[in-house]
Structure 1
Amino acid sequence: MNNDERICSIALTLCPGIGHIGAKRLIDGIGSAAGVFSQRKELPELLPGVSPTIVTALDNPAAFLRAEHEMEFVEKNRLTCLTLKDEAYPSRLRECEDAPIVLFFKGHTDFNCLRVINMVGTRNATEYGKQFCVDFLRDLSSHYPDVLVVSGLAYGIDIHAHRAALANNLSTVAVLAHGLDRIYPYVHRKTAIDMLDNGGLLTEFLTETNPDRHNFVSRNRIVAGMTDATIVVESASKGGSLITADLAVDYHRDCFAVPGRISDASSRGCNLLIQDNKAALIQSAEDFIKAMGWTHEEKLAKPEGIQRNLFLELTGEEEFVIRILTRQGDLHINALVVETDIPINRMISLLFELEMKGVVKALVGGVYHLLGY
């Protein structure tokens, strides 16, 4: 049995009847994809709920042959294959229940930088939407030149977000709905190549995978899951960007929408997101920065030396969160997850407990401020 974690992870995606959630649960339960295969016969005893059907599906030599073929392509083309166990894997995405267990990447960027956003929208972008991308990323880059901008390389808002990011020297990543043996749409090839030096191309799909319709829906969960915030610039009343927005809400991420005239078809989706309280209204980078709690000027004054109340009992994890906030100042919950490597659901509980103890205060936009205690 091959014990290369990358090959085992790829092979696991090729075993029928397991799926994204099932594969991740197996790895989380056993500790590695290699362990899932090597202990497949013991899985029903080790992990309650694993059926004999799953054990049979894992006995799949053809999956390993295909995985080895894929790794040959990865190595020949100097791609990066990221598994859930790799430190460079997007940590925000790792916390999602349906996170892909393996990703393929070409380019240069840090998926785990402090600030990661996505900008998505209609393929039929208007001049209003295109100009918003330009103005927003120009202004955002002047405050935070280290922001990573994620989108989908599609026609319309996606490609304009990528190009505006490049124009302002921001790292930008396109999440694809196919393998890295092709670029779709082909007319965006030059932009895709330009992104490789500061950003790149990311996918969960193997080579020879066509950009079929259902792959775009699957792709959207990666876009939403690997970022702190989703920004819908323009959208009709139905579309992929609304799916991304819904996923962001499900993942407990911030979601924003750019408003438009009620008569404009390209703004109906954004207006509905705002009306339904699924997204906050933003009109500028300044609005977004304030909503995310990124603005330094509005930080509350913090005492230089915080004295611990001797009677306050804190767990080791709570102490760790406090040390991070003491060192870095106010942070968004997703940044805390990245800095501490504590799962998002656990972090929510920790911050709630710290609020109840009067140690931290929740600010606007999911940002947490350390109080004196």
Structure 2
Amino acid sequence: MSEENLFYALALLRVEGVGDIMAKKLLSHFGTAENVLNAKSSQLAAIDGIGTVLLKNFKDKTIFEKAKQELDFIQKNDIEVLSFQDDKYPDRLKHCIDGPVLLFSSGNIDLKNRKIISIVGTRQITSYGTEFCRKLIEDLAPLDPIIVSGFAYGVDIVAHQLAMDHDLQTIGVVAHGLNQIYPKPHKKYVAKMEQNGGFMTEFWSTSNPDKENFVRRNRIVAGMTEATIVIESADRGGSLITANMANDYNRDVFAVPGRTTDKYSQGCNNLIKTQKANVLTSAADLIYILNWDIEKENKPVQKQLFVTLDEDEQKVYDYLLKAGKELMDIIALHCDFPIYRISGLLLNMELKGVIRPLPGKMFEAI
């Protein structure tokens, strides 16, 4: 986006009453933000949703001063700005009617042709949630997914840290401008995150982490990812808002079940009970439902010289040695395992380097 186009886009978004949906409608009709702001009142009035109050707001010349101030900040701090019309803008977010017109980002973010999931949950993460998150990301690491979260306390920062531990790209979607870090104790993670990933926001440098901003932030977390995973949540946790938004966007939602007596499992259990989320008991559940395959370009899994297989894994391995390439459903049938069990076994065996996945959910022994 050129400096001139960015300036006018920023000015358009400063018109009081022009939100993302209205801005997209205007851009679709007039072509550019400059054309919108230079349009006559009679032309603007012809657009559905624009009344006398909004027409008056278009005459506010302070929008250009505010746009210039933000443009100066963007240029001085090397902020990358993505328009919803740009190729680098998150592809899935383009299909969300209320997705931001502009996204501001920092770091080294590459979203093209990538598996992208969001991991959210309570700020009061328990040892159960931490261990589940650790195992989940460890098992998903060979598929090299991008991990998105909100950089908050609890589940968010644990997910970011674990992603970095496994050299996975991770993105923090924040509820304020990129001139600050919230919460402040997380500043120590910024440099490492920006090496492989970084931060995204729709908020200007004049925006603080106000309560209402977090709900708006959540729609980006839900909208830009293929699936949203809720690790732990109380029955009214903020992550449930993200899960509901993901459902509204027709994204897959997963929730980790827990004991009915555990406070921070109640939200997840309710999502599952009301069929708003798939049950997530291991990485294999997500891989199966999302139909992910370990592709050639992903990180290689080195075959160990001496591999120990348990009894069930050995049964599957022996069958594949005799049968050759075979479908997951057929493997399950001949080895007498339910699908959910065979998917977990096959994942573990892939990680041990004794089988490989093939297109069409087929597998073969190595």
TM-score of the pair, normalised by structure 2: 0.77
Structure 2 vs 1, CA of residues 46 and 113 (structure 1 numbering), >3 Å: closer, same or farther?
A: farther
1:24–1:98 Cα contact (<8 Å) kept: no
2:139 match: 139
1:61 match: 61
Alpha-carbon distance between aligned partners in 2 of 1:216 and 1:298, rounded to the nearest angstrom: 44
Does 2:168 align with 1:165? Answer: no
2:80 match: 80
Alpha-carbon distance between aligned partners in 2 of 1:12 and 1:45, rounded to the nearest angstrom: 16
2:120–2:149 Cα contact (<8 Å) kept: yes
**Per-residue CA distance 1:122-141 (angstroms, 9 max, x = gap):** 00000111111111111101
* Larger mean Cα displacement after TM superposition, 183-192 or 33-42: 33-42
Structure 2 vs 1, CA of residues 67 and 124 (structure 1 numbering), >3 Å: closer, same or farther?
A: same
Alpha-carbon distance between aligned partners in 1 of 2:102 and 2:176, rounded to the nearest angstrom: 14
Partner of 2:99, secondary structure, is coil
Does 2:15 align with 1:15? Answer: yes
Alpha-carbon distance between aligned partners in 1 of 2:57 and 2:40, rounded to the nearest angstrom: 10
1:197 match: 195
Partner of 1:4, secondary structure, is helix
* Larger mean Cα displacement after TM superposition, 46-55 or 196-205: 46-55
1:5 match: 5
The residue identity in structure 2 corresponding to 1:181 is: N
Partner of 1:139, secondary structure, is helix
Alpha-carbon distance between aligned partners in 1 of 2:255 and 2:273, rounded to the nearest angstrom: 10
Structure showing greater Rg: 2
The residue identity in structure 1 corresponding to 2:161 is: R
1:24–1:100 Cα contact (<8 Å) kept: no
The residue identity in structure 1 corresponding to 2:14 is: L
Partner of 2:195, secondary structure, is coil
Q: For residues 84-95 of structure 1, what are the structure 2 equivalents within 5 Å?
A: 84-95=84-95
Does 2:175 align with 1:177? Answer: yes
Superposition deviation, residue 42 in structure 1:
4.9
Superposition deviation, residue 15 in structure 1:
1.1
1:254 match: 252
1:43–1:55 Cα contact (<8 Å) kept: no
1:225 match: 223
Alpha-carbon distance between aligned partners in 2 of 1:195 and 1:72, rounded to the nearest angstrom: 25
* Larger mean Cα displacement after TM superposition, 39-48 or 99-108: 39-48
Alpha-carbon distance between aligned partners in 1 of 2:253 and 2:149, rounded to the nearest angstrom: 14
Does 2:215 align with 1:208? Answer: no
Alpha-carbon distance between aligned partners in 2 of 1:71 and 1:219, rounded to the nearest angstrom: 22
Alpha-carbon distance between aligned partners in 1 of 2:30 and 2:277, rounded to the nearest angstrom: 37
Between the two proteins, what is the percent identity of the paired residues?
A: 43
Does 2:230 align with 1:241? Answer: no
TM-score of the pair, normalised by structure 1: 0.76
2:45–2:51 Cα contact (<8 Å) kept: no
Alpha-carbon distance between aligned partners in 1 of 2:37 and 2:3, rounded to the nearest angstrom: 9
Structure 2 vs 1, CA of residues 262 and 108 (structure 1 numbering), >3 Å: closer, same or farther?
A: same
Superposition deviation, residue 220 in structure 1:
0.3
Task: Name the Cα RMSD after superposition.
Answer: 2.3
Gaps of 5+ in 1: 301-328, 331-362, 364-373
Structure 2 vs 1, CA of residues 29 and 96 (structure 1 numbering), >3 Å: closer, same or farther?
A: farther
2:125 match: 125
1:118–1:224 Cα contact (<8 Å) kept: yes
2:45–2:55 Cα contact (<8 Å) kept: no
Does 2:61 align with 1:47? Answer: no
Superposition deviation, residue 94 in structure 1:
1.5
Structure 2 vs 1, CA of residues 40 and 114 (structure 1 numbering), >3 Å: closer, same or farther?
A: farther
Alpha-carbon distance between aligned partners in 2 of 1:154 and 1:56, rounded to the nearest angstrom: 39
